[in-house]
Chain A
Amino acid sequence: MPVTLALIRDTFREALARKIFWGLFALSTLMILFFLFVLKIDIVQGAVATLSVFGNAGPRGSQPVEQLVRGVYAGIATFLYTWGVFLSVFASAGLIPSVLEPGRIELLLSKPVSRTHILLGRYLGNVLVVSSNFIYLVLGVWTILGVKTGIWSPVFLVSIATTAFIFATLLTVVVLIGVLFESAALAIMVTVALMIISPIVAQTNIMLRLLSSEWSRRLWQGIYYVLPKVWDLGRMTLNAIQDRSFSGFMPIWSSALFGLIMMGIALRVFSRRDF
């Protein structure tokens, strides 16, 4: 455990030095400040009486407060899930290749620590750096909205778990590319490509109707089941926040399986590599 903690602390220290942590922290703080000072909500008898941004009042109405809050939750969750994850991948992609630099990795390997431990410690540190920012942003917005509206719906907090989970899944790809090619740029390209194609691949019902041959339909389905379900998990999060139902947990366990396989390959490659 002390070794794991040392590796995590080292990742945090490097993230701080590279201004990664501070960059994400500043973005989150900006959003929190927006909800704290800029967004003003007046509530009368459980409905939004006036809603103003930068002092400009929006249309008066009797929209239920809970509906408004859920809408804000959904907006934040969507921002966090897309841009938050994208920025986090972009910011942390260099943290794996940096540890493999000649002159640094030999010293790490000379310590009585297994290679698996080194890579997992680094990975865990990376996940915690990013997750701490997710927690800060979501808890901050949740608290401000709770104080302003009196609604303390814990369902918004689910977005911390799902966003951190999908980041952790995508980070396994970053780790694998990192140990294979030591290239942060390539790791970003592949991971962002996975994020971009996810909503396309997820349209299985449409594609199965459009594709003419049986093998191409199977191939599409195969690709869908193999790749992480970035899109589906995002939909699940939104549905949960907006109190809508969702069908099954397949996107979670199949994405977890994808992450485990990627990490397994990364560990295998890392343990066999010469430095």
Chain B
Amino acid sequence: MNRDQLDQIKNEFKEKISHIENIKDLEELRVQFLGKKGVITQFMKGMGKLSKEERPIVGKKANEVRKEIQDSLDHIKGDIEAKILESRLEREKIDVTLPGKPCQCGAHHPLNIVTEELEDIFLGMGFSIVSGPEIEWVKYNFDDLNMPKDHSSRDKQESFYYQDDIVLRTQTSPVQVRTMLSQKPPLRIISPGRVYRSDEIDATHSPVFHQMEGLVIDKGIAMSDLKGTMDLFAKKLFGNKTKTKFRPHQFYFTEPSAEMDVTCFKCGGEGCPVCDYSGWVELLGCGMVHPNVLRACGIDPEEYSGFAFGLGLDRIALTKYGISDLRLLFENDVRFLSQFK
């Protein structure tokens, strides 16, 4: 037992490890040299036979050899693992251009998308969303809204009736009446919903369509507030550069009344087919709530004032997406519906 023997062990190890190619052989080699019954272990056990002087020297050398072997094993192990990983990665390469496994995904109806967009804008301005029955009292749909008794919109040619005093609502305004009758001012509400008029269906008309109306009642509400609120709404809907124009108009429900145009969202006011080359698109009707309406709903026009507005949701959806025919909205062809994801 001497240092030469250690050199011999070392050389033997070097010779063997140079042939190792996999983890299993490497482990066997480790056992052969460093295991409990391994060469080095055996050697170290035999060191007790050495003289006192020799023991520390040979011991030191033996430890060095053991460490050398250990390091070499670790190093080779690292190399082999790296090779294995590399070959695995190579083996596991896939064609990333193959299609993915289908994951179903539906979509909102475009009318709903528009409705929610508008709702969000008004929610942000402190409005609440309310709804009401579509089959409605004539009183709420016409009388309380200051609609003249002989107005043609009350005719059977223009509105659908269930009974003489019950009509399919022709506007969402009765919701405003209901709200004013049931709640005290201050009020800020919008009422999106379905309305009915006796029109034959074509590219721009439908007996069933959708409106959103809004109502604000408070002390000291002025027409300038109506203008400011509607202008802000238009800017939120179509962008900050949008301009608005208020034209005088007439509605029975409001006095004064106005129609609001916005700069064409397609061309920004330059003039294009969407705006009929005028640069403006009509967006909504609005006005200061008529005192007769306030009174019919139990609100004192001396104390409170307010404004109301209404717009057609279907038409906004059509213009927003450039859909040319209203009937497409009601048809529900998958090829149509799947475009609004």
Co-assembled chains A and B:
no
